[in-house]
Structure 1
């Protein structure tokens, strides 16, 4: 579980990132989750955009992706989701400590 300070830090880190995945009409599926898991292992912090034609609720989509990839939902702003999960093999992001 991330603290408020850690989430603010991750939001600032994600600000300059571009969305590398899009959730469209098909919604969230196993294929999409598998690809996001691979990308998040490499990058740790990713942005995903929800397209206008997505029929699912944006909050549900964000929660499904976070749960499916076992990552933390950092932010859902507009139709953009930011997810974070520390990499097992090549950690790059150092989170601020609690306190």
Structure 2
């Protein structure tokens, strides 16, 4: 999958949008399993911008986990704060009821 490349303005814009979001995917002690990747991919297709919560028992480094999850889902890791990861992937299908997030021009 093609991962989006985000500039500083786009990253800042997405961070501001993500501020009010609640995590929609949680990663537990099993780490990044195929089920977690599948759930994250579905959530990204539905929402484009999501938060992923890494649980207390998560085994591993947070930044590495964010990059791995982003790579496996074709997303961009926007931000890692504590145990929360923000991911962005543009929706692949058009849905008139749910407009795409328009990133600022460079």
- How is 1:4-23 mapped onto 2 (pairs within 5 angstroms)? 4-23=8-27
Question: 2:104 aligned with 1:96, yes or no?
Answer: yes
Alignment RMSD (CA, Å): 0.9
TM-score (norm. length: structure 2): 0.89
The runs of at least 4 consecutive aligned structure 1 residues that moved more than 3 Å come to none
Structure 1 unmatched runs, 5+: none
Structure 2 unmatched runs, 5+: none
Shift of 1:59: 1.3
TM-score (norm. length: structure 1): 0.95
Q: Equivalent residue for 1:42? A: 46
Aligned residue pair count: 98
